[in-house]
Structure 1
């Protein structure tokens, strides 16, 4: 857990700047973890995993657009979102990160779905041969 690493580095005499460089995290994160007990850090990490994303209610709509138009940019998705849902207030980076997240989801689907495709079966007692040679 990050909390333990930060506390250990601090106990070994590392400065906050050195901890930031070593763990590649923000200075504020180091200060936050240094103030927390182990139980508080554990509770905080658990709330992060349960927290929803701002664009989760629009996920199906975004994924449908990405399936239909896979080369859309996040800026185009944001424009369409704001046209369809005018009351939505969202920043460029939020949309960009969420579109990236949905894109990874779609990529995983494209990779794993064929693994679970229907297998061709022959009627009982019949045998077929499949020749995959390159002649």
Structure 2
């Protein structure tokens, strides 16, 4: 349940209202939390509820981690941690903390390298084609398991394609 900053003190009403246990049950928080907020001034409660962001140990190395991830977008967390430990001698964070930190970084910042595509301008109709080979194993032909060897041609200009298959008995 969402609660306003004044809910704690209003429900308690200087001891004439609900007990700390009932306030905790009503607001869905711990009794210790209710006790802590009742002993605080309302201004401190308001700033405590609005200012939930805190500094993390890895914030100090944020620029270095971002630089690594931008230079190598496919870099795993293990390798980032290894490079970070090589740079910082006494790094007191767990592997899981680094994983969570990098996961939030990847969600907020795009680390994908820009893909540069330029069309090939030297294509003349009928001049170029791409040839690929492949095979399909275990194809049933007339009840016999065979391997089919394929050759695929794709014309570069028109993107028309053709496929030739050769059957071979296993």
Q: TM-score, normalised by structure 2?
A: 0.43
More helix by share: 1
Equivalent of 2:68 in 41, 65, 68: 65
Determine if contact 1:78/1:92 at 8 Å carries over to the other structure.
Answer: yes
Q: Distance in 2 between matches of 1:27 and 1:80?
A: 44
Pairwise CA RMSD: 3.8
Task: Specify the alignment match of 1:91 in structure 2.
Answer: 94
Q: Distance in 1 between matches of 2:6 and 2:18?
A: 14
Task: Specify the alignment match of 2:151 in structure 1.
Answer: none
Task: Specify the alignment match of 2:45 in structure 1.
Answer: 41
Which is greater in Rg? 2
Task: Specify the alignment match of 2:155 in structure 1.
Answer: none
Tell me the number of residue pairs that the alignment of Structure 1 and Structure 2 aligns.
106
Structure 2, unpaired ranges of 5+: 113-170
Q: Is residue 32 of structure 1 aligned with residue 46 of structure 2?
A: no
Q: Which moved more, 1:81-90 or 1:62-71?
A: 62-71
Distance 1:33 1:69, change over 3 A: same
Quote how far apart the aligned CAs of 1:59 are.
Answer: 0.7
Q: TM-score, normalised by structure 1?
A: 0.50
Equivalent of 2:6 in 1, 4, 7: 4
Quote how far apart the aligned CAs of 1:58 are.
Answer: 0.8
Distance 1:37 1:82, change over 3 A: same
More strand by share: 2
Structure 1, unpaired ranges of 5+: 111-135
Distance 1:71 1:7, change over 3 A: farther
Spell out, residue by residue over 1:38-89, the C-alpha distance to the aligned partner (whole angstroms, 9 max, x if none). Answer: 122234456654x53321221111122333234623x543333112211222
